[in-house]
Amino acid sequence: MTRTPLRPLARILQARASGENPDLIERENLAWRHEVIRDRGRARSEGRLLFLAIFFMLAFSLVGGRMGVIAASQPQEPKAEASGAQILATRADITDRNGRILATNMLTHALYAHPKDMVDPARVARELVELFPDMDQAALEKRFTDGRSFLWLRRVLSPEQMQAVHDIGDPGLLFGPREVRLYPNGPIAAHVLGGASFGAEGVHSAEVIGTAGIEKAMDARLRDPAQSGPLQLSLDLTVQATVEEVLYGGMVMMKAKGAAAILMDVRTGEIISLASLPDFDPNDRPAPITDKTAEPGDSPLFNRAVQGMYELGSTFKIFAAAQAMDLGLMNPETMVDANAPMRWGKHLIKEFKGKNYGPLLSVTDVIVQSSNVGTAHIALQIGGLRQQAFLKQLGFFDPSPIELIEAPGAKPLIPARWPDIVTITTSYGHGMSASPMHLATAYAAIANGGIAIKPTLLKRDTPAQGIRVMSADTAAKSVSMLRQVVTRGTASYGDVEGYAVAGKTGTADKPKKTGGYYKDKVINTFATIFPANNPRYVLIVTLDEPVEDSGPEVRRTAGYTAVPVAAEVIRRVAPLLGLRPEVDFTPVDQITAVVEDNH
Amino acid sequence: MRPLLYLVTFAAVMALAFWAYRENYATQESLREVRNLQSEIADLREALALQRAEWAYLNRPDRLRELVSINFDRLKLLPLEPGQFGNVAQVALPAPKLPLILDPVDVMGPMTDDNGESLP
């Protein structure tokens, strides 16, 4: 571009010659130059504005177009992506604490019929009855021909049965897929698992719902598709199987009607094993007994460990002793009146077989000898109100919080009024009933240094938080007393070498329905804490109507029935729990060992 | 110059169209494969669940206990008992190795018999 000078010499000279002002020429040129600059600037601004307008128009039309597409199109799963986290519509598995399967699902088929599509209803009915003898041929044929268009025949078919039905070859017989609940371990932990059945049923699927036990109590968790992964219980399958095996052996040997055992970790409150015998197979859950005269305990479905409300007998005595020590009323050496029989109003409190351990016994010996009269005097010093408050703290007044559907309904049987005679009888475990689970929870509080924790069936990794119900010192003294029951008291058969078992026996006469007590029917309980020097586990073993008649004398006390069974359970289970026995190994001279090895 | 440019552009458009056509079919093929794989994964998951159930069924404690008692003469398996725990002190130290034979004289015998006569 050629730049025009502001004062072109030719025009200046011309203007000077004609007497005009040459500065005007300069002004004119300057104005002209500014005009050019302005024009150029405007053009550039216009270009920028246009560019911005186009940019915003494109941006907004892109957003608008995308919105339109999203609004107008059908939603679709991204097809090209591999699905990472699975949302499964199936019921969650249940595993034990080591991940071994306790309950899982299996795909089978249900059989239904479209009678209108049937070629030969009579033949189908005949061949179906051959396959399934429980069907009624006449009724089946009638239902095939009465004009209905849909009919359920069988809820679950095994693959072999399905093939056999296929071989009938009638187009009116159809199959729908079914997920069924499978308990691969059979009757092991049956009372914990409960069982499952079908809820709403359709042709293409059916709802699986829990009917009892943890399957029903945790139904929402098991069915929640958002909570992936199996439900891990605190049970240990190996320990559970061992406990059930030993308990069954003990039950048969002691001719008992039933038995229950609970093994609980005192630090976390986890139930490692919960057994109730007789048991059942949850894959084929028996129907409940409808007979009105039958006792609930007659059904194998009855969970003795949680639902069974028993007078737990002398196992309660330690609570009176512990409370008296915690209140500072006594120490283990305090002498208490144990002069039997003791008269209270119109009641006579006697010892086992009319013995008399008195006139005075130390608190420790009251527990070791299991003196009813001594415990009664301790309880009277504590008083009914404080006794009730203590038992309530230990959980004896409320249903157990364990995650079983049966638990909330199993409320301990507490006397409505609490006169002194109830204080006395409760102190040695008569007059009020509770389940073995309640007893395990209360003993766990003693074993856990006086802190009461909630029992749970779900795996917990950290020690549970709880409330302190007695001082650590009282708890330690109580465990020491219980240890002496085993070393020199009523539970001498309970000693397992290396595991320092501490425990208390309890023998309670069974109450008659008509009132009063049976003379020859007892509930025997042995509540143990082991190892005593560093309590880790509580084991409760209860036998229903046991009798030990191998010798000349027929014995029905817990010391001869429940105690040996519990000792065998500990002997078998403690190594499985990884507990090392504290035995004095014969010191081996290292040099001798080397020489022996040289051969 | 200009005809050549047109020709090159046209050829490029044709090549791109061909490429896009092939890509389209390749994508559809991949999607079909993904669909098949996903249904295969679902089937395998189901089979896996069934095999886990079978594994648990075959390893149920009752069956293992029966197998142990049936095969007792061969396996001699017994329940774990407290007496099976040991002490580290009970484990024997490894035996010291024989010292290396460095001096050949140590292992040589005299070349005479008991009567002092030299052997052949």
CB contacts under 8 A, A 214-243 vs B, are 237-238, 241-242
pLDDT on residue A599: 41
pLDDT tens for each residue of B29-74: 998 998 898 889 888 988 888 898 899 999 999 999 999 999 999 9
Q: Which two tokens stand for residue A372?
A: 């009813």
* Residue recorded with tokens 């002793």: A321
Give just the sign of the alpha carbon dihedral A568, A572, A578, A583: positive
Spans of chain A, pLDDT less than 70: 1, 77-89, 584-599
What's the longest Cα–Cα distance across chain A? 162
Give just the sign of the alpha carbon dihedral A80, A84, A86, A87: negative
- Integer Cα distance of A366 and A383 in angstroms: 18
What one-letter code names the amino acid at A510?
K
- Integer Cα distance of A436 and A566 in angstroms: 14
Q: What is the mean pLDDT of chain A?
A: 87
The number of beta carbons lying within 10 Å of the beta carbon of residue A20 is: 13
- Integer Cα distance of B50 and B52 in angstroms: 5
- Integer Cα distance of A343 and A347 in angstroms: 6
pLDDT tens for each residue of A280-331: 999 888 888 777 777 777 788 889 999 888 888 889 999 999 999 999 998 8
Q: Which two tokens stand for residue B98?
A: 């024989």
The number of beta carbons lying within 10 Å of the beta carbon of residue B36 is: 10
Q: Is A139 on the interface with B (CB under 8 A)?
A: no
pLDDT on residue A439: 93
A208 burial class (0-12, 13-18, 19+ CB within 10 angstroms)?
Answer: buried
Nearest to B57 among A184, A241, A242 (CB): A184
Q: Which residues of A251-260 are buried (b: 16+ CB within 10 A; e: fewer)?
A: beebebbbbb
Is A188's CB within 8 Å of B86's CB?
A: no
Residue A426: half-sphere exposure toward Cβ, Cα within 13 Å: 32
Helices (H), A405-541: 420-427, 436-447, 472-488
Q: Is the peptide bond before A419 cis (omega within 30 degrees of 0)?
A: no
Give just the sign of the alpha carbon dihedral A108, A110, A114, A120: positive
CB contacts under 8 A, A 150-189 vs B, are 182, 184-186, 188
pLDDT on residue A558: 82
Tell me if A469 sits within 8 A of A451, measured CB to CB. yes
Q: Is A299 on the interface with B (CB under 8 A)?
A: no
Tell me if A452 sits within 8 A of A393, measured CB to CB. yes
What one-letter code names the amino acid at B48?
L
pLDDT on residue A580: 86
Is A184's CB within 8 Å of B53's CB?
A: yes
3-state secondary structure of A496: coil
The domain ranges of chain B are: 2-77
pLDDT on residue B111: 65
Task: Report the DSSP pairing between strands A173-182 and A101-113.
Answer: antiparallel
- Integer Cα distance of A79 and B32 in angstroms: 9
3-state secondary structure of B40: helix
Bridge partners, residue A543, by sequence: A259, A524
> Of all residues in chain B, what percent carry a pLDDT higher than 90?
43
pLDDT on residue A584: 64
Residue A574: half-sphere exposure toward Cβ, Cα within 13 Å: 30
